[in-house]
Amino acid sequence: MRPAIAPSVLTFPHADLKGPLLAMQDAGVDLIHLDVMDGQFVPPITFGDGLAKSVVGIVDLPVEAHLMIETPEKQIDAFAKAGCFRLIAHVEATVHSHRLMQQIKDAGMEAGIAINPGTPVEAIMPILTLVDLVLVMTVNPGYGGQKFLPECLEKVQKIRHLRPEVFIEVDGGIEPLTIKRAQDAGANLFVVGSYLQKPASIQEAVEVLEKSCGYVR
Ligand code: DX5
Ligand code: ZN
């Protein structure tokens, strides 16, 4: 089956994203993944709804925002207005994950919940039937280019068993070997950051990843 690929622009120069974004689109990716960091929930600061709005204006693809921020509830309207189709927030960043997911949906977006490597599946159990997507972090959030943590795949298997139809996205350290392991565990959406810059072109990177999952164009 063709794996759905969500490129992250994190490791590309943020002031010069048009070229990489159009190359991602030409390579046939499914959507764009934006890593929003606030310098609190994770050490780096990246960008906010302003950049999301620009990205939405450049590509003809759905754009999702992965909020690695404290008080994510304060950003829902801004990212909805920016044109994001899905907002993903961390369960560790709120004591009101149930209300947060509802608020994201009420704002007209799909709702995703993310869990860090140190967070068990039990933390999201009560909202599993409410969310459109679960993002299982396969590195600790904050930086691109980190090593994949295979122990996180047990959580992917558990979630897949509990909710056969939910989108399960994995994020961090995805390259040709790890994408296959994540797919076998039950993930069906793959965030890819630094690996996109390893082969000669973004197109080639996407094709290699697809091939690892048994799909040849
Ligand atoms: C990490 C981010 C990821 C990151 C993935 O905190 O959430 O989306 O950009 O980058 P790679 O694929 O390099 O691990
Ligand atoms: Zn991410």
Residue 8 CA to ligand 2 centre (angstroms): 7
Q: Which residue has the tokens 């795949």?
A: 153
Q: Whose CA is nearest to atom 6 of ligand 1?
A: 141
**Could you tell which of 8, 34, 148, 175 is best to mutate to test the pocket of ligand 1, judged by most ligand atoms within 8 Å of the CB?**
8
Is 149:171 a contact under the CB 8 Å cutoff? no
Q: Which residues does ligand 1 sit against, CB inside 6 Å?
A: 8, 10-11, 33, 35, 66, 139, 141-146, 171-174, 191-195
pLDDT of residue 161: 98
3-state secondary structure of 100: helix
pLDDT of residue 196: 98
Provide the H-helix boundaries in the chain: 18-26, 49-58, 76-82, 97-106, 153-162, 176-185, 202-212
Mark 202-217 as b/e (b = at least 16 C-beta within 10 Å). beebbbebbebbeeee
- Which domains does the chain show, CATH number per domain? 4-212 (3.20.20.70)
pLDDT of residue 110: 98
Residue 158 CA to ligand 1 centre (angstroms): 22
Provide CB contacts within 8 A for 171, sequence distance 6+.
8, 33, 66, 114, 135, 136, 137, 138, 139, 141, 191
pLDDT of residue 217: 87
**Could you tell which of 37, 169, 179, 191 is best to mutate to test the pocket of ligand 1, judged by most ligand atoms within 8 Å of the CB?**
191
User: pLDDT by residue for the chain (217 residues), tens digit each?
Assistant: 789 999 999 999 999 999 999 999 999 999 999 999 999 999 999 999 999 999 999 999 999 999 999 999 999 999 999 999 999 999 999 999 999 999 999 999 999 999 999 999 999 999 999 999 999 999 999 999 999 999 999 999 999 999 999 999 999 999 999 999 999 999 999 999 999 999 999 999 999 999 999 999 8
> pTM (2 decimals)?
0.98
Residue 88 CA to ligand 2 centre (angstroms): 9
pLDDT of residue 93: 98
pLDDT of residue 69: 98
pLDDT of residue 137: 99
Is 26:203 a contact under the CB 8 Å cutoff? yes
